[in-house]
Structures are given as C-alpha cells and as structure tokens.
C-alpha cells in the first residue's frame, strides 16, 4: 500500500471508530440497552483500534538507534 492509500484507509477507520463510539453511547442511554449488541460493537471498535495502530506504525519509518 502506498502512503496515500494508508492515510485514506486511516481516515475511513477513524470515522467508523468514532461512529461506533457514538452508537455505543446512544445504545447505553436506552432504558433497556441490548448488552449483546453493545458488546459486539465494542469488540468491533477494538479491532478497528488495532488496525488503526498497525497502519499508523506503517507510516512511521524505522529508526535504527
């Protein structure tokens, strides 16, 4: 992947991560929140965070100390 492709993918992942955060908060505000749905969304959010971290690390050049 080129740097531009990585940055575009990062933008998409960050938006999805933020949207999931809002959706989890909204579901949590319901009188009887669906705990299973919330758990699935949180798991998806963690996978997104891992992918974001991986791609961010790909953008940082290795520095030999």
What are 7-32's pLDDT values in tens digits?
999 999 999 999 999 999 999 999 99
Residues making up the chain, counted from first to last: 65
Q: Which two tokens stand for residue 61?
A: 């050049």
Q: How many domains is the chain partitioned into structurally?
A: 1
Q: Tokens 């999931």 map to which residue?
A: 20
pLDDT tens digit sequence for 25-58: 999 999 999 999 999 999 999 999 999 999 999 9
- The answer to whether residue 37 sits within a structural domain is yes
- The answer to whether residue 65 sits within a structural domain is no
Q: Is 31 helix (H, G, I), strand (E, B) or coil?
A: coil
Element at 50 (helix H, strand E): helix 35-59
Domain of 7?
3-59
- The answer to whether residue 12 sits within a structural domain is yes
Whether 65 has a pLDDT exceeding 70, the answer reads no
- The answer to whether residue 54 sits within a structural domain is yes
- The answer to whether residue 17 sits within a structural domain is yes
- The answer to whether residue 64 sits within a structural domain is no
């Amino acid at each position: 992947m080129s740097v531009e492709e990585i940055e575009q993918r990062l933008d998409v992942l960050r938006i999805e991560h933020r949207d999931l955060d809002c959706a989890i908060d909204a579901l949590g505000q319901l009188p009887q929140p669906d705990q299973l749905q919330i758990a699935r969304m949180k798991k998806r959010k963690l996978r997104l965070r891992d992918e974001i971290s991986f791609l961010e690390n790909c953008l940082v050049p290795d520095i030999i100390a």
